[in-house]
Amino acid sequence: MEKDITFASVAELSRMLAAREVSAVELAQHYLARIEAHKDLNAFLDVRPEATLEQARQADERIAAGTATPLTGIPIAHKDIFVTREWASTAASRMLEGYMSPFDATVVRQLKDEGMVCLGKLNCDEFAMGSGNENSAYGKVFNPWDANAVPGGSSGGSSSAVAAGLAPIVTGTDTGGSIREPASFTGVTGMKPTYGRPSRLGMIAFASSLDTAGLLGHSAEDCAWVLGSMVGFDPKDSTSVNMPTEDFKRHLNDGVAGLRIGVPRKWLGEGLDPELRTSIEEAIETYRRLGAEIVDIELPMAELGVPVYYVVACAEASSNLSRFDGVRYGHRAADYTDIVDMIKKSRNEGFGAEPKRRIMIGTYVLSHGYYDAYYLKAQKVRRLIAKEFHETFKKVDVIISPVTAGTAYDFGANADPVSAYLSDLYTVPASLAGLPGISVPCGIHSNGRPLGFQLLGETFSEARLLGVAAAWQRETDWHLRRPAGY
């Protein structure tokens, strides 16, 4: 039964808990033991068994009292971008080393209210800035499929934890692809909702107009089970969309007959790994066989996504990270002459190389004489990218595309920042437009590393996207493949 529990679906775990085949405490103990056994992955930054087991005991009490929800007792872990009262919240940065938040992020609180049991906090790129999880101040995260490969970023601890069976479902954040890319690199399913659906309150900010909370799990069904409990209007978040939550499971068994699936053929052309292209083409043909209409589309404005994204995101990072000055909270230098010297030294010591780089880029594009030339221009092109997507979704229901140009790359392979930024080529356009997207596994490369594709939809079409992904996962078993040794 141990193996069944490790990679069991959220639905199966829910059924087992309701039938008293397993207790919430037993589930928590099982995953805590796996986290301890696989510490070498460096997926977790803070694990506090006593806090986890107390939440599990409370879940068992709710189940016994008949006041449980379908998610009560299900273990979950949170990316260390969400603040938590009982676990340290560091954003994987020395700047916030040991920081204990006085409150839970809204997403964390909502899932806790459902009775989900927190296993701990997950490693990530510092302040969610990176595509390979090589930028954490507390060491890189390893990919369970290949110790030489990155797990993707910035939610690398999240993807590694799910792939290795250290948690059945986890939270992540996606600013420019930070859920979808790591999901693709580790053979798991990653769901990014529409911007504004999950609250940003308590998410340590990187780029406020882009940051979106989401989920990584073994399947679209897993994500559908949990997503409804982590979205909804939050009056304390000015960017929260005032619309009710919904049952995201309702289209899981609908199939794709009659749906129009758009294919940006140029995205499947030059620069794409040939084996990945073949896998995506096979997925397209599978959808065609299942009754979907395949429509070729063009997204020329989306090709400007990378430069637009890195202007907008860095500008917002420059503004957001200005709060870390050593005065109110966070790291403060030990030796300084006056307040200016203290702020300079605190920020220099507290921030890693990548946050410093993005702060400087952002400060430059916001500076006098460059604001109009760079930031304002980028915002105008961003609007054109969003308009192009919205016009396209009048012709198609869903878009299928690559997540990245290939499989997970080796550690250090993208040491040049520009190369690292270009790895976001296929993910940032949807982020700029605020669209929902889901990454699903679609194969194993000859190098032994997973392959994935993404499905993109119009705003608020999460339930349909989950249904389209579920249709693929009923036809294939790629999402059931596990890395050796786990």
List residues with catalytic annotation.
Answer: 79, 154, 178
87-119: burial string, b at 16+ Cβ within 10 Å, e else: bbbbbbbbbbeebebeebbbbbbbbbebbbbbb
Indicate the length of the chain as a whole number: 486
Integer-rounded Cα radius of gyration of the chain? 21
H-run or E-run covering 382: helix 377-392
Nearest to 316 by CA among 214, 225, 210: 210
Map residue 451 onto helix, strand or coil. strand
H-run or E-run covering 122: strand 117-122
- Yes or no: say if 227 and 197 are a contact pair by the CB < 8 Å rule: no
Give, in order, the Cα–Cα distances in Å from 210 to each of 26, 123, 173, 203, 429: 38, 20, 10, 12, 11
84, exposed or middle or buried, with CB in 10 Å at 0-12, 13-18, 19+? buried
344, exposed or middle or buried, with CB in 10 Å at 0-12, 13-18, 19+? middle
Distance CA 50, CA 228 (A): 28
DSSP structural state of residue 66: T
Tell me the angle at which helices 24-37 and 49-65 cross, rounded to the nearest 10 degrees.
160
Neighbours of 300 (CB within 10 A): 11
Residues 6+ apart with CB under 8 A from 165: 6, 7, 34, 482, 486
Neighbours of 65 (CB within 10 A): 8
Q: What is the largest CA-CA distance in the chain?
A: 71
* Segments of 218-333 assigned E as strands: 260-264, 293-297
